[in-house]
Amino acid sequence: MLEAHGVSRRLCSFNDIIPGYVFSGVYFSNKYLAGHGNEVRAFLRGLAKAFDFIQKDEKTARSFLPKYINVSESVAQQSALRDLSGRGREPLEMLDRQRDLLLKYGLIKTKASIQGMVDYSYLPK
């Protein structure tokens, strides 16, 4: 987006360096899940439908960006879009790789098990 605004020049994308890097996620505490499982499932169904919509009609999906994130239509149409085909399920191998990078650069101190942190059972099939 910065390049489209003329304030920078991209040398390479983050995805060129670490393909498939997961920048964000949705997190719920065990306590919240225990008391609000139906709401979490409904939210995640909506999120999966949004991913499907983006994949089926990317141009229209991008046309909504100016309204919600205050960018021009031209910038919205050029912005990077990651692969959403997993519908919210990120490969555990990628998450392990990211955890290992965080360890390597001292951003976390212990090698926690990703399998113990990720639960896709609330996502729609």
On the question of pLDDT at 67 being above 90, the answer is: no
Quick: pLDDT tens for 94-118. Answer: 889 888 988 998 999 999 888 888 8
How does residue 35 score in pLDDT terms, banded at 50, 70 and 90?
very high
How does residue 86 score in pLDDT terms, banded at 50, 70 and 90?
confident
Residues 6+ apart with CB under 8 A from 103: 109, 110, 111
- Where is 30: in which H helix or E strand? helix 30-56
For 76, other C-beta atoms within 10 Å of its C-beta total 20
pLDDT value at residue 82: 66
Is residue 77 within 8 Å of residue 62, measured between CB atoms? yes
pLDDT value at residue 22: 74
CA distance linking residue 84 with residue 82, whole number of Å = 6
On the question of pLDDT at 75 being above 80, the answer is: no
DSSP secondary structure letter of residue 86: T
Mean predicted confidence (pLDDT) in 20-27? 78
Please give the radius of gyration of the chain, using alpha carbons only, rounded to the nearest integer. Answer: 17
Is residue 48 within 8 Å of residue 55, measured between CB atoms? no
Residues 6+ apart with CB under 8 A from 78: 1, 4
Distances (CA, A) of 28 to 25, 33, 84, 96: 10, 6, 21, 20
Please report, for the chain, the start and end positions of each structural domain, with discontinuous segments joined by +: 16-122
CA distance linking residue 125 with residue 122, whole number of Å = 9
pLDDT value at residue 109: 92
Mean predicted confidence (pLDDT) in 51-68? 86
